Structure 1
Amino acid sequence: MSFVARRLAAFSTAIILFAATGSSAFAQKKYDTGATDTEIKIGNIMPYSGPLSAYGVIGMTEAAYFRKINAEGGINGRKINFISYDDSFSPPKTVEQARKLVESDEVLFIFQSLGTVTNAAIQKYMNTRKVPQLFVSTGAARWNDPQNFPWTMGWQPNFQNEARIYAKYILKEKPDARIAVLYQNDDFGKDYLKGLKDGLGDKAASVIVAEEAYDVTEPTIDSHIVKMKTVHVDVFVDATSPKFAAQAIKKAAEIGWKPLHILSGVSVSVGVVMRPAGIEAAQGAISSAYIKDPTDPQWKNDRGMKAWNEFLDKYYRDANRADGAVVYAYTVAQTLEYVLRACGDDLTRENVMKQAANMRDLELGGLLPGIKINTSATDFAPISQVQMMRFKGETWERFGEIIDADVGG
């Protein structure tokens, strides 16, 4: 073989080797819009203003958690670029912000946007665009529908299932109860009402003697509380968001109405609901939980809550540590971190959903002991377990066993 032939043969071999190694390296990294070697761009929509602005702390906590991740080197070497917009809890504004995030900011996905009616307004758009609408901050039943909406996934327990648990509790503890229901006039409240009626079964029509709906634009729900007292009920199912739950507790105490008060699990924060309403007025309220109450002294030396407090000390010092929403947001952000680390170098939207739908017995520091996160390709409900609790003294006392909300006990 001549010198030139040998050089050509060696060069050809080098090309083949480079192509093999190069294609292998290329295969290890896959990106969709919003992800690069150095960045993962995540969108978020929160009601930082408007009637549900108390929930804005969720977005602020998540932003702080991503600052923590970035300070510690990012996820697989990539920094999180968290872009969060205000929608004032207005569906048209939610649509506008979602389009901005997807089409202008070009995020990889939208994470933890808050509200049932607001997320419903963008669900079809997100699925048509095949952009993940991941871990939405609402417990509506519609988020667990992978067959029809494979790009949408919830996180917290289902509202309907939670209400079914309360129905079973009422049937056991007060079988002859007369029930009044106050619910938010949207999918959130209607899910609770449906779950309650499903759980009560044939008795629903006779035991529910009052149904009152309110709109989030109402400044106060006092008139609804006064009206429900007049029908002489002994159980009050309160499917409201935090601001209105505090009003309900306070007004009921003011007018001397003392039914068994069952609160929605989204409105159990001691710092945001119980204390503003009045600790004494809140005594005996019933609800359920899946995350740890930061005001409960039993978690003082808990490893998970110690880590939460250390995180706040360093990245979110202004946080209200009595607000359960701060623990909630921290725990959801940890769930996302787990999913993104599992994605490795395949940061495609399809793989994000694949990994989110492949969590097995994930335990996180903010969840109650025994509560585990599980998902599959046919089950987009990460958390389906809760534990009943009663407000006593200055905190919630849990009782009974961990209940699988999917079956309502």
Structure 2
Amino acid sequence: MITRRQSLIGAAASALALKAGPSLADTVGVSDSSIKIGNTMPYSGPASAYGQIGETIGKFFEMLNDAGGVNGRMVEFISYDDGYSPPKTVEQTRKLVERDEVALVFQGLGTGTNTAIHKYMNAKKVPQLFVATGASKWNDPKNFPWTMGWQPNYKTEAKIYAQHVLQTQPDAKIGILYQNDDFGKDYLEGFKAGLGDKTSMIVDEQPYETMDPTVDSQMISLKASGADVFLNVTTPKFAAQAIKKAHEIGWKPTHYLTNVSISVGAVMKPAGFEAAQGIISAGYLMDSTDPQYDDNEEMQAWRAFMDKWYPDGDQASSFTIYGYAVSRTMVKVLEQAGDDLSRKNIMKQATSLRQVDIPLLLPGITVSTSPEDYAPIEAMRLQKFTGETFELFGDVIAAESS
């Protein structure tokens, strides 16, 4: 079990150090030569497939430090395993804030886990940045000014699926499998909002718990309901199970899969490519398995990073793409902060991103934030799994149009 990762490289700090800014004495987790960034990640437990995100981030900061750090400071990335368990997340986060004294917490993964520390982080006034969950609650600057998401929110994504169902199968019977927590319920709420007065199209809703061994019984019930459209609101382990089980029992609905589980390497391949054909999802990141990006400069730079710094990482996984892109966003914030790395200024810079082009985002999708809008990415494109990769179709759909 991985309990701690540090990517602070002991280089000649004196040669790299910047002069302390006027507020350095008042900052936490910052010295002339380094900045501490904390993280919790499910390296074990039911969502351990996401552990590759934490691994990628750690390797990214190692690469960054090898090139001189950011604004002359090395990044000390401290990452603890929380097993996707909210009580463990609370324990590990308190350790990061109170013992390790990190400047900020970055990319903690999971809706339930981040909810467990939401009030604590804001009471402590510690930036809880770019959390790895699309719950809509992270865009609440009035009540939680120290917390911000990164990816498109779940309700927006779910509305996109609902609208596509209404456009293509207006007489559909819809079955839904969802994780019985804030993550699943956010998608469910957004999907129903997208259906509007057509929620009667839903003929069956099957919840599952994260500690369930399988979702086989739920899949059998969904097939028996007569549903010809399937909304699959699951994390990777259960997504692969659901895809495989549908194929085994001969159920062939139009299948919509949440973006958090579209990894070809971690979901589609284990489920079986034959079983995954035709699955529809929505994306905002380039797909490393899509040949159209073979000559793309951003994709080539990512592959070079993976080859050198994370050779054991899965280059067919969306999670390694994701980890790299969100790390680039974090670096942009630190660059804008300059030598004022107080928590207040870090948060100010995180809320001052203006149409930033982040490597590996789909063309036409940028990162923008403001003090009134904490949702960095608010656009997606539909895509369908064909062969061994996803193929994009349609135009970029922005949140305001969904």
- TM score, norm. by length of structure 2: 0.94
**Do the aligned residues in 2 keep the contact of 1:30 with 1:346 (CA within 8 Å)?**
no
Determine the structure 2 residue equivalent to 1:125.
120
Q: Give, as a single letter, the amino acid of the residue that structure 1 aligns with 2:211.
A: T
Counterpart of 1:402 (choices 392, 396, 400) is: 396
Determine the structure 1 residue equivalent to 2:70.
75
Map 1:104-123 → 2, pairs under 5 A: 104-123=99-118
Determine the structure 1 residue equivalent to 2:324.
330
Secondary structure class of the residue paired with 2:327 = helix
Q: Give, as a single letter, the amino acid of the residue that structure 2 aligns with 1:132.
A: P
Map 1:21-32 → 2, pairs under 5 A: 27=22, 31-32=26-27
Q: Give, as a single letter, the amino acid of the residue that structure 2 aligns with 1:59.
A: G
Map 1:347-386 → 2, pairs under 5 A: 347-386=341-380
Q: Give, as a single letter, the amino acid of the residue that structure 2 aligns with 1:320.
A: D
**Do the aligned residues in 2 keep the contact of 1:163 with 1:195 (CA within 8 Å)?**
yes
Q: Give, as a single letter, the amino acid of the residue that structure 1 aligns with 2:41.
A: M
TM-superposition CA deviations, 1:97-154 (whole Å, max 9, x none) = 1110000000001000000000000000000000000000000000000000000000
TM-superposition CA deviations, 1:296-339 (whole Å, max 9, x none) = 11110100000001111111111010011000000000000010
Structure-2 change in CA distance of 1:197 and 1:73 (3 Å): same
Determine the structure 1 residue equivalent to 2:212.
218
Q: 2:239 & 2:299 partners in 1: Cα distance?
A: 26
**Do the aligned residues in 1 keep the contact of 2:24 with 2:31 (CA within 8 Å)?**
no
- Give how far 1:365 is off: 1.8
**Do the aligned residues in 1 keep the contact of 2:109 with 2:132 (CA within 8 Å)?**
yes
**Do the aligned residues in 2 keep the contact of 1:48 with 1:56 (CA within 8 Å)?**
yes
- Give how far 1:219 is off: 1.0
Establish whether residue 200 from structure 1 lines up as the match of residue 195 from structure 2: yes
Which runs of 5 or more structure 2 residues have no equivalent in the other structure? 1-18
**Do the aligned residues in 2 keep the contact of 1:139 with 1:155 (CA within 8 Å)?**
yes
Counterpart of 2:297 (choices 280, 293, 303) is: 303
Which runs of 5 or more structure 1 residues have no equivalent in the other structure? 1-23
- Give how far 1:62 is off: 0.1
- Give how far 1:275 is off: 1.1
**Do the aligned residues in 2 keep the contact of 1:303 with 1:365 (CA within 8 Å)?**
no
- Give how far 1:364 is off: 1.8
- Give how far 1:394 is off: 1.3
Counterpart of 1:143 (choices 120, 127, 138) is: 138
CA RMSD of aligned residues (A): 1.2
Q: Give, as a single letter, the amino acid of the residue that structure 2 aligns with 1:349.
A: R
- Give how far 1:261 is off: 0.4
**Do the aligned residues in 1 keep the contact of 2:21 with 2:339 (CA within 8 Å)?**
no
Determine the structure 2 residue equivalent to 1:16.
none
- Give how far 1:272 is off: 1.0
Map 1:160-309 → 2, pairs under 5 A: 160-204=155-199, 206-309=200-303
**Do the aligned residues in 2 keep the contact of 1:161 with 1:407 (CA within 8 Å)?**
no
Secondary structure class of the residue paired with 1:325 = helix
Determine the structure 1 residue equivalent to 2:35.
40
Q: 1:187 & 1:108 partners in 2: Cα distance?
A: 28
Q: 2:23 & 2:212 partners in 1: Cα distance?
A: 53
Counterpart of 1:56 (choices 24, 43, 51) is: 51
- Give how far 1:366 is off: 1.1
Larger Rg: 1
Q: Give, as a single letter, the amino acid of the residue that structure 2 aligns with 1:389.
A: Q
Q: 2:21 & 2:80 partners in 1: Cα distance?
A: 34
- Give how far 1:28 is off: 7.6
Q: 2:385 & 2:84 partners in 1: Cα distance?
A: 29
Determine the structure 2 residue equivalent to 1:21.
none
Determine the structure 1 residue equivalent to 2:61.
66
Q: 1:286 & 1:225 partners in 2: Cα distance?
A: 18
Q: 1:63 & 1:260 partners in 2: Cα distance?
A: 38
- Give how far 1:25 is off: 7.8
Structure-2 change in CA distance of 1:30 and 1:156 (3 Å): farther
Q: Give, as a single letter, the amino acid of the residue that structure 2 aligns with 1:101.
A: L
Q: 2:205 & 2:170 partners in 1: Cα distance?
A: 19
Secondary structure class of the residue paired with 2:395 = coil
Q: 1:27 & 1:274 partners in 2: Cα distance?
A: 52
Determine the structure 1 residue equivalent to 2:12.
none
**Do the aligned residues in 1 keep the contact of 2:328 with 2:359 (CA within 8 Å)?**
no
Q: 1:253 & 1:380 partners in 2: Cα distance?
A: 40
